[in-house]
Each structure stands twice: as structure tokens, then as C-alpha cells.
């Protein structure tokens, strides 16, 4: 455990060491990219003689973290192929987050995405081509489904298009049986009526994926995520799921007067390190999907734009963890 006060210890403190035949990720080691921003930060801190902070950031640099793919940021065939080749040579599995759906993030801090449906399909085709040799683990479009359920995306045409594009992404990426796809399903505190999430997951064809992903870039405890995930799984005939534990070591931020609980909240901690050996049936992996230390957006004093490395916040997360 790396928690500084997490309440998820009963579920995660004693994972089994056996290979699980029902888990497609069982026994896999996830790729630690030596060029990740945390490693670069460590090198700079050491060059500056700041060994204490460098040791803290190593808690992040030494762990496998997902590479986020978006147009203009690692989404080409050559880039994906190079990433998966490097992972294969290291005897590891690359974890990637596909994040480029049209109308992404409803114009908020991480707004953007492909210009239209045709551009998105071409982007998915590029990634699929890069996965032909080795495959990898794909977290598909964080927030895309929840934003169709919380009113953020309200146009019926855009909703229908989004579901069709997610379905296209699943089937296209899964043409390589070595590629494992988990479509994002929000987090335990977001869409309370999980039956609506179940319906949406069915519409995008989650049964053709390897399952769904929970808690991406969020702070819900592992216990809460497992409970919510089990409800979804039961209604989806046993679909498996993965959980982002990158920053959930202290659970969610509970300051009621703060409207930005999800955006760089203070007092959080790194969570359980990535592993496919969760010891929990149906939970294929704990992953660090969000890069701990990357900003959620320019929402607090000193916070950089979404996706940019923020040493101060990374140190807060690391120092709150063991």
C-alpha cells in the first residue's frame, strides 16, 4: 500500500500471486517509460542538487503510467508502434489512453478532440495500425460516456454519434487479439443511477471489449470503485474492469465549499501501485492511468494547463504516500 490514510486496505493489501485464467492481463508487467515526465523531473532535480525531492518524485518515475494518445500527441502509427516495441523489448505491456473523441470534455479544461467523425475514425485506424505487432492495454475515451449522461453533451445527434464512434474504436482496436480495451465508465460518485451507465455501455458494445475502466483521473477509493464496478459487472453479465489508483491513496477531497473537488485537490496521495495481480475477482488491474503530477487544469493558484507536469503537485502526492 502507498496510502497515507486510504480505507481500501482490506481489498488490496494481500493480492494473490497466482495467475488468473479469467483475467486477460494476469501475469503482465506494465511498461515503465524511461522518458516519462517524472523521470525527466528526477534528472533535473538531481542536477540541481535537490536529492530529497528527487527521491520523492522517483515514487512516480519508477511506476508504469499510461501514455495518453490524442491527435498531435502520440496518436500516429509510428509513435504507437515505437511505444509498443519499446515495451515489448522490456518484457512489458504498454498502457495507453485514447483521448480524442469529438467535443471532448465539453469545452472545459481538457477541451479538444477530433474535428468530426471521419477524423476520429482515421485517428483510431492509425492507432490500430501501430498496435498490429505487439498490442497493448487501451483505456478508451475517459469521460466520453459519462458526459452523455450528466447533460454535458445533450444534443441527441452528438450522443448517437459518440456511441457509434466508441463502438467503432472498440471493434477496430480489438482486431489485434493482443490488444486489451477497457472503455471508460466514469467513477463511483458520478453517475449514481448505474442502470443508465449499463445501458450506455451496452450501446457502445462493451461486450466486444475486455471490460470497462473506473476512476480515471479521479480520487475515489478502491473500495468504492470495486463496489460500483461490481454492480456494473453484475448487470453486464460479468464484464471485468480496471481501476485507476494513481491518486486515490487518501480518497476523494471532501471540502464541501470547494466546487473543484476533481481539479488538483490538495491533500491527496498516490494510490496502490499498478499491478495485474489485484486479488479481486473481476478486477483485471490497478493502473496509473492519470500521470500523477500532471495538472487537471489551470483551476488553482499556480496550476498549469491540463496535462502539463506540475512538480509542486507531484511532490504533494508523493510526500503524502509511503
d(CA 221, CA 134): 32
List Cα–Cα distances, 8 to 34, 227, 269, 276, in angstroms: 30, 11, 13, 17
- Among 93, 266, 295, smallest CA distance to 176 is for 93
Radius of gyration of the chain (CA): 18
How many other C-beta atoms are found inside a 10 Å radius of the C-beta of residue 28?
19
Nearest to 309 by CA among 38, 34, 32: 38
- Active site residue: 8, 53, 143, 284, which one? 143
Residue 6's CB: how many other CB atoms inside 10 A?
22
Dist CA 298 CA 217 (whole Å): 15
Q: Is 294 helix (H, G, I), strand (E, B) or coil?
A: strand
Residues 6+ apart with CB under 8 A from 109: 263, 296, 297, 298, 299, 305, 306
CB 318 within 8 A of CB 291: no
Active site residue 143: yes
Counted residue by residue, the chain has a size of 322
Active-site positions read 143
Amino acid at each position: 500500500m502507498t496510502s497515507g490514510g486510504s480505507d481500501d486496505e482490506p481489498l488490496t493489501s494481500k493480492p494473490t500471486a497466482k495467475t488468473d485464467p479469467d483475467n486477460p492481463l494476469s501475469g503482465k508487467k506494465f511498461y515503465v517509460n524511461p522518458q516519462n515526465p517524472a523521470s525527466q523531473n528526477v534528472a533535473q532535480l538531481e542536477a540541481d542538487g535537490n536529492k530529497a525531492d528527487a527521491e520523492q518524485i522517483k515514487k512516480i518515475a519508477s511506476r508504469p503510467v499510461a501514455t495518453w494518445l490524442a491527435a498531435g500527441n502520440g496518436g500516429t502509427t509510428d509513435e504507437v508502434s515505437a511505444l509498443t516495441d519499446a515495451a515489448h523489448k522490456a518484457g512489458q505491456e504498454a498502457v495507453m489512453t485514447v483521448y480524442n473523441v469529438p467535443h471532448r470534455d465539453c469545452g472545459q479544461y481538457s477541451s479538444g478532440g477530433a474535428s468530426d467523425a471521419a477524423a476520429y475514425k482515421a485517428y483510431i485506424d492509425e492507432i490500430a495500425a501501430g498496435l498490429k505487432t505487439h498490442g497493448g492495454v487501451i483505456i478508451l475515451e475517459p469521460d466520453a460516456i459519462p458526459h452523455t449522461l450528466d447533460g454535458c453533451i445533450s444534443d441527441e445527434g452528438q450522443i448517437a454519434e459518440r456511441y457509434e464512434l466508441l463502438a467503432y474504436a472498440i471493434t477496430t482496436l480489438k482486431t489485434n487479439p493482443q490488444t486489451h480495451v477497457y472503455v471508460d465508465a466514469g467513477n463511483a460518485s458520478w453517475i449514481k443511477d448505474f442502470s443508465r451507465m449499463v445501458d450506455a455501455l451496452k450501446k457502445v458494445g462493451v461486450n466486444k471489449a475486455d471490460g470497462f475502466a473506473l476512476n480515471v483521473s479521479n480520487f475515489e477509493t478502491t473500495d468504492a470503485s470495486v463496489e460500483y464496478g461490481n454492480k456494473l459487472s453484475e448487470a453486464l453479465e460479468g464484464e471485468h474492469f480496471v481501476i485507476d489508483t494513481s491518486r486515490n491513496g487518501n480518497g476523494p477531497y471532501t471540502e464541501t465549499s470547494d466546487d473543484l473537488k476533481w481539479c488538483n485537490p490538495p491533500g491527496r496521495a498516490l494510490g496502490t501501485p499498478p499491478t495485474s495481480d489485484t486479488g479481486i475477482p473481476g478486477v483485471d488491474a490497478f493502473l496509473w492511468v492519470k500521470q500523477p503530477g500532471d495538472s487537471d487544469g489551470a483551476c488553482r493558484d499556480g496550476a498549469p494547463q491540463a496535462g502539463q507536469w506540475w512538480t509542486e503537485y507531484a511532490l504533494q502526492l508523493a510526500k503524502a504516500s509511503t
